[in-house]
Amino acid sequence: MSAVTRVVGGFSLDAVRFADGAYEVDRPGGNGFWAALGVVLAGGSAAVHGVVGDDYPDEALQRLRDCGADIGGIRRLSGSPSLRVSFSYRPDETRAHPADPAAIADLPPEDRARFLDTTDREDLLLATLPTPADLAAAHADSWYLGLLPARRLREIVAVARGDGCVVLDCPDRTEIARDGSAALRDVLPDVDVFLPSTSDAAVFLPDVPERDLPSLFHGWGARAVVLKCGSRGAVISTGRGRWHVPVFPDPDAFDATGAGDVFGGACAATLAGTGDLVAAVVAGAAAASFATAARTPLELSRIAHDDVERRRRFIAARVEEM
């Protein structure tokens, strides 16, 4: 039996306008959904904890179950809608969140009306995330904690610490920029791997050079840091050294939505099975490469293991010690 990775995160219904003019509305998504598929792509056993509204499609959750994820930890919030997220991509492939009204102005009115974004509603955001009570009886070989607001982050880390390896994605970066770094400083000593991105850091640490970020996070208590650098790959930093892990050069890549969470889920699953952080980050990079060419997370459920393995080997051969 493969090691169990518990994914704790959000589920949402997304509306996305792509740079090529195509668009999706009511697309099942959320960091919990993407990360669970990352666990599956890495060959791990995913147990998913999330909260969905009455409008979240059963078919999407069943697809998660069909590809091997345990969805028993996903509950419906009766009488409440799901969280809604909207994005629009610019020609240079940067992303606006919420979607830029000018970018969707040409859409049919009924579709334009679906470009809702409720991420600024703190009451709904907290209601659509797991609570410590949801995790009370859970046990894991590893945990992947997706984007969480500070209040819920502290509560979830308190439950997960000491029970398997805890991998933490960056919490709400705008909240950190507004309220300061206290939330991160509180929890980083209690997690095993911290997975910020350079775009996260640009929001709440705009004056810190990229090369100095890992050392700063170590100073805040992080034992291991994996700095995600977009198309430039990832930098691993531990007390033993630093390594650069490249991306897989997929010519069909066009949308980075969800790639960071797929990366994190695959990383946590591989770390649980091997204890090798470099191998875990390589697996994360291989899994994430498929997300950048997917219109929806459901497409990842059809990726063959041999295809993932080929990309994993390609990336592993190009890891460099820094």
pLDDT of 1 above 70: no
The tokens describing 7, both together, are 């994914």
User: 242 pLDDT band (50/70/90 cuts)?
Assistant: very high
Enter the tokens of residue 320.
Answer: 């460099």
Can you read off the two tokens belonging to residue 112?
């334009």
DSSP assignment, residue 100? P
Mean pLDDT of the chain: 92
In this prediction, residue 253 carries a pLDDT of: 72
Q: What are the Cα distances from residue 69, in Å, to 5, 81, 167? A: 10, 24, 18
Residue 137's pLDDT is 80
Amino acid 298: pLDDT: 85
Tokens representing 271 are 């770390």
Are the CB atoms for 303 and 40 separated by under 8 Å? Answer: no
Q: How confident is the model at residue 19 (pLDDT cuts 50, 70, 90)?
A: confident
- Pairing relationship of beta strands 225-228 and 234-238 according to DSSP bridges: antiparallel
Candidates 274, 241, 268, 262; CA nearest to 311 is 262
Residue at 155: amino acid letter: E
Give the mean model confidence (pLDDT) for residues 38-46: 95
Q: Can you read off the two tokens belonging to residue 260?
A: 């960071």
Above pLDDT 70, what percent of the chain?
99
Q: Of 292, 281, 173, 270, nearest to 234 (Cα)?
A: 281
pLDDT for position 254: 67
Query: Phi and psi dihedrals of 109, rounded to 5?
Result: -55, -40
Mean pLDDT, rounded, for 123-144:
90
DSSP one-letter code for 297: G
Judge whether residue 230 has pLDDT over 80: yes
The pLDDT of residue 166 is: 96
pLDDT beyond 90 at 59? yes
Predicted local confidence at residue 157, as pLDDT: 94
171-205 core/surface letters (b: 16 or more CB in 10 A; e: else): bbbebbeeeeeebbebbbebbbbbbbbbbbbebbb
Is the C-alpha dihedral spanning 206, 208, 209, 211 positive or negative?
A: negative
- With a cut of 60, say whether residue 4 has pLDDT above it: yes
Higher pLDDT, 20 or 188: 188
Q: How far apart are CA 104 and CA 121, in angstroms?
A: 22
**Can you tell me the mean pLDDT for 266-294?**
94
Q: Which residues pair with 50 in a beta bridge?
A: 74
Rg (CA), the chain: 18
Confidence tier at 92 by pLDDT (50, 70, 90): confident
The pLDDT, as a whole number, for residue 150 is 85
- Is the peptide bond prior to 109 cis by the omega test (within 30 degrees of 0)? no
Question: Between 305-316 and 277-291, two packed helices, what is the crossing angle to 10 degrees?
Answer: 120
Checking if the pLDDT of 55 tops 70, the result is yes
What value does the mean pLDDT take over residues 312-321?
A: 97
CATH 3.40.190.10, domain 4-11+28-77+122-321, yes or no? no
What confidence score (pLDDT) does residue 204 get?
92
Tell me the pLDDT band of 76, cut-offs 50, 70 and 90. very high
pLDDT band, very low/low/confident/very high, at 136 (cuts 50, 70, 90): confident
DSSP 8-state code for residue 81: P
* Least confident window among 29-43, 135-149, 226-240, 303-317: 135-149
| pLDDT recorded at residue 108 | 96
> What is the arithmetic mean of pLDDT over 116-137?
89
Where in the chain are the domains? Answer: 4-11+28-77+122-321
